[in-house]
Amino acid sequence: MSNNENFTDLGLSDNTLAAINKKGFEEPTAIQIKTIPVMLRDDTNIIAQAQTGTGKTAAFGLPLIELIDTKLKAVQALILVPTRELAIQVSEEINSLKGKKDLRIVPIYGGQSIDQQLRRLKKGIHIVVGTPGRVIDHLNRKTLKIGEIEHLILDEADEMLNMGFIDDMEEIMEHTNPDKRTLLFSATMPNKIKELAHKYMDGYELLTVKKQQLTTNLTEQIYFEVKASEKFDALCRIIDFEDDFYGLIFCRTKNDVDTVVSHLTDRGYDAEAIHGDISQSQRERTLDKFKKQTVNILIATDVAARGIDVINLSHVINYSLPQDPDSYVHRIGRTGRAGNEGTAITFITPSEYKKLMFIQRVAKTDIKKSRIPNVKDIINAKKKKIYDDLSGILEEEVDATYFNWAKNLLEDKNPTDILAAVLNYCFEDELNPESYGSVKEFGSNKSDTVDKKGKARLFVSLGKKDNLNPKKLVELITGRVQLKSKQISDVQVMEKFSFVTVPFDKAEKIVISFKEKGQRPVISHAKR
């Protein structure tokens, strides 16, 4: 479903548009299209009815970035959220979209050191994202002044109501100036929310997104609950476990698409990407290869996947949870075309479970939890495929050169030993259990890992600030130590440092190879 609008149509600055593009977002969601221009007008209060996961943080975050005057070292916007997790998430999201603007944002919530929050508030903060209890705590201490804020945002207002925060919300609103703009986001509109709006908002514009009737015809829809850092290893297991995997994998942003494709090709998979930065001619070439199955894995964003007409996919995989039920149905419907049945798989982290259940409810479908194939299952599946392939070759005519070669090999050696050596030579990497990283499924006490003692976690004192990315880090290590890239897993590159997991027997060699005399090592064992 196309919204037929781009971020460039919404009145955002070049700096913000550059930040959006860098983050990899291609197209605004319906609630963003409705909210951003109205907020930028800055002449009315807003009530926006929108579900979690519809892009509402950017819907209010992007206009806030434009409206804040960074020359003023005072709190100009307060965002109230029901939970500490959402406070952190909203703060990080707005930070990631501010571009080069010197905007200061701080999350404040219970459970975090109040002294740490006080130090940050004293530095001159423009946007505070906080839970009601901790905001009131700061108001009572007079360490947070909101009497002159220009924007108050109540995010997930109905959820705050359900959690018993209505009195706190009212107390906070009484501390704010009457001339501010108020934006209230709520998935539902109970009477208490309407009363709150009537009491504290002098008129408002109501923004709602039209709901569509959604249907799914797919026979099998499953989900796996894993850590974000283990999604890639889970993906590899699914691809390897299937006899003839032929699938479309959806990511949320262009950057995510490029990262997944890069990691897959590094591991030897035939995968290609399509997203908004890829030219039309390249897109056509990629789709042609995918339709002919010379490439069996295609990674795409929702926008770029429009118009892909492939009727015999075995899998659609939601590597990133879709924004809303509509996107979910459009994605997975590709496996059920022309009467073909396939499997839709969705990866979620524990914090995304609630959103997945919302998608399931609205789409009126059944998404069942399943178990990620363990390493033993995958190796057995690979062995079966090799056996079937070899059986097929035996029924065909083999070139005489190979017969003569075989006779020479068998002259003074045991046939079983020879065959075992040949199989080892051909399939050592493919059947190596250590090529799979660990994946722990939530909701189970079992940690589906490959001999934990056989792995070591290493700390790298380099990060994004050193122009490092996962691919460069892997190349840096494999360039120094005899190690295959697929033996390096769970690569995490932070701003100032990184982590990698490597085979235990290679760890010490890696550490030593990066240790300069008289200096701290670039790579060392991670402290547990």
For residue 271, name the pLDDT band (cuts at 50, 70, 90): very high
Does some domain include residue 439?
Answer: no
Domain housing 418:
380-433
For residue 451, name the pLDDT band (cuts at 50, 70, 90): very low
Amino acid at 245: F
Cβ(358)–Cβ(188) below 8 Å: no
For residue 443, name the pLDDT band (cuts at 50, 70, 90): low
**pLDDT of 412 higher than 90:** no
Does some domain include residue 168?
Answer: yes
Q: List C-alpha distances in Å: 75 to 116, 125, 200.
A: 17, 6, 20
How many other CB atoms are found less than 10 A from the CB of residue 30?
Answer: 21
**pLDDT of 45 higher than 90:** yes
Residue 201 sits in the same domain as residue 267: no
Kindly report, residue by residue over 79-124, the tens digit of the pLDDT. 999 888 888 889 999 999 999 999 999 999 988 888 888 888 888 8
Query: What pLDDT is stored for residue 224 in this prediction?
Result: 92
Does some domain include residue 444?
Answer: no
Kindly report, residue by residue over 236-261, the tens digit of the pLDDT. 989 988 878 999 999 988 899 999 99
Pairing of the two strands 439-440 and 447-448 = antiparallel
Cβ(62)–Cβ(357) below 8 Å: no
Q: What whole-number percentage of the chain has pLDDT above 90?
A: 32
Mean pLDDT of 460-467: 88
Residue 305 sits in the same domain as residue 402: no
Residue 22 sits in the same domain as residue 167: yes
Q: What whole-number distance in Å separates Cα of residue 233 and Cα of residue 440? A: 11
The tokens of 363 are what?
A: 């789409």
Region of poorest pLDDT, from 212-226, 378-392, 514-528: 514-528
Q: How many domains does the chain have?
A: 4
Does some domain include residue 320?
Answer: yes
Does some domain include residue 445?
Answer: no
Amino acid at 516: E
Residue 80 pairs with which residues in a beta bridge?
A: 130, 154
Q: What whole-number distance in Å separates Cα of residue 32 and Cα of residue 250? A: 21
**Where are any strands of DSSP class E within 6-141?**
46-49, 77-80, 105-108, 127-130
DSSP 435: G
Cβ(258)–Cβ(307) below 8 Å: no
Mean pLDDT of 350-363: 87
**pLDDT of 212 higher than 60:** no
Residue 59 sits in the same domain as residue 133: yes
**pLDDT of 461 higher than 90:** no
For residue 335, name the pLDDT band (cuts at 50, 70, 90): low
Q: What whole-number distance in Å separates Cα of residue 302 and Cα of residue 308? A: 11
**pLDDT of 504 higher than 80:** no
Residue 365 sits in the same domain as residue 495: no
Judged by DSSP in three states, 424 sits in helix
Question: When comparing pLDDT for 451 and 147, which is higher?
Answer: 147
Residue 64 sits in the same domain as residue 139: yes
**pLDDT of 453 higher than 50:** no
Edge to edge, what strands does the sheet with 523-525 contain?
A: 489-493, 498-503, 455-460, 523-525
Tell me the torsion sign for CA atoms 175, 161, 35, 208: negative
Amino acid at 87: A
Residue 195 sits in the same domain as residue 225: no
Question: Among 208, 239, 263, which residue terminates a domain?
Answer: 208
Residue 166 sits in the same domain as residue 89: yes
Q: What whole-number distance in Å separates Cα of residue 94 and Cα of residue 61? A: 6
Whichever domain contains 361, its CATH number is 3.40.50.300
Residue 235 sits in the same domain as residue 352: yes
For residue 528, name the pLDDT band (cuts at 50, 70, 90): very low
The radius of gyration of the chain from alpha carbons, rounded to an integer in Å, stands at 27
The tokens of 449 are what?
A: 């890992």
Whichever domain contains 460, its CATH number is 3.30.70
Does some domain include residue 91?
Answer: yes
The mean of the pLDDT values for the chain is 84
Residue 493 pairs with which residues in a beta bridge?
A: 498
Residue 257 sits in the same domain as residue 335: yes
Residue 165 sits in the same domain as residue 274: no
Question: Among 169, 184, 208, which residue terminates a domain?
Answer: 208
**pLDDT of 181 higher than 50:** yes
Does some domain include residue 456?
Answer: yes
Q: What whole-number distance in Å separates Cα of residue 363 and Cα of residue 215? A: 6
Query: What pLDDT is stored for residue 440 in this prediction?
Result: 63
Question: Among 159, 186, 208, which residue terminates a domain?
Answer: 208
**pLDDT of 346 higher than 60:** yes
Residues in Cβ contact with 106 at an 8 Å cutoff, skipping those fewer than 6 apart: 91, 117, 120, 121, 125, 127, 128, 129
Cβ(295)–Cβ(323) below 8 Å: no
Helix-, strand-, coil-residue percentages of the chain, each rounded to 5: 45, 15, 40
Mean pLDDT of 154-171: 89
SS in 3 state form for 139-197? HHHCCCCCCCCCEEEECCHHHHHHCCCHHHHHHHHHCCCCCCEEEEEECCCCHHHHHHH
Does some domain include residue 441?
Answer: no
DSSP 430: T
Residue 21 sits in the same domain as residue 118: yes
Q: What whole-number distance in Å separates Cα of residue 428 and Cα of residue 499? A: 27
